[in-house]
């Protein structure tokens, strides 16, 4: 549903569409939704291969990760529908496309929501996750 529809319209639309689903199907939807998490989120920065990022969206959907943040510093990200297979419609995808400081704005936003930031990188001074966790203790 469009995030700009007001709450009353969303409820009325959901109630109407629910009449077309069986009770078992509705219970399955509620079960799956209740298992979604916002405890972990994924951030993708400066994506230049849409098929890889679209596969990440599909993986997030499979693992129940609700929110995905896309930082568009230099490259604009478009979902590759052949790869994502509709998974993006079930996720909250937040795009940060400011010309300056998009990465900083995204990370500050997540920190303000209480997230710990863990990043992956292939540079020489990078620490593996086990080492990082030992240092944090």
Averages of pLDDT over runs of 10 residues in the chain (137 residues) are 65 85 85 79 85 85 89 80 75 85 92 87 74 67
User: What per-residue confidence (pLDDT) applies to 133?
Assistant: 67
Under 8 Å between Cβ of 47 and 78: no
Token pair recorded at residue 25: 């199907």
User: What per-residue confidence (pLDDT) applies to 1?
Assistant: 42
User: What per-residue confidence (pLDDT) applies to 98?
Assistant: 76
Under 8 Å between Cβ of 41 and 67: yes
Q: Residue with structure tokens 């009325």?
A: 12
Other CB atoms within a 10 A radius of the CB of residue 56 amount to 18
CA distances 110 to 14, 72, 107, 116, 118, Å, are: 30, 16, 5, 8, 11
User: What per-residue confidence (pLDDT) applies to 131?
Assistant: 66
Token pair recorded at residue 100: 């300056």
Centroid of chain to Cα 117: 15
């Amino acid at each position: 549903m469009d995030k700009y529809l007001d709450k009353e319209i969303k409820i009325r639309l959901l109630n109407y569409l629910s009449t077309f689903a069986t009770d078992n199907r509705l219970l399955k939807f509620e079960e799956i939704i209740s298992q979604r998490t916002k405890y972990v989120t994924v951030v993708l920065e400066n994506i230049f291969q849409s098929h890889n990022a679209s596969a990440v969206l599909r993986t997030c959907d499979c693992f129940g990760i609700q929110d995905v943040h896309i930082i568009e510093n230099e490259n604009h990200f478009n979902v590759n529908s052949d790869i994502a297979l509709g998974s993006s419609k079930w996720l909250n995808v937040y795009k940060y496309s400011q010309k300056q400081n998009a990465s900083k704005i995204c990370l500050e936003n997540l920190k303000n929501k209480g997230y710990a930031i863990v990043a992956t990188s292939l540079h020489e001074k990078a620490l593996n996750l086990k080492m990082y966790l030992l240092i944090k203790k």
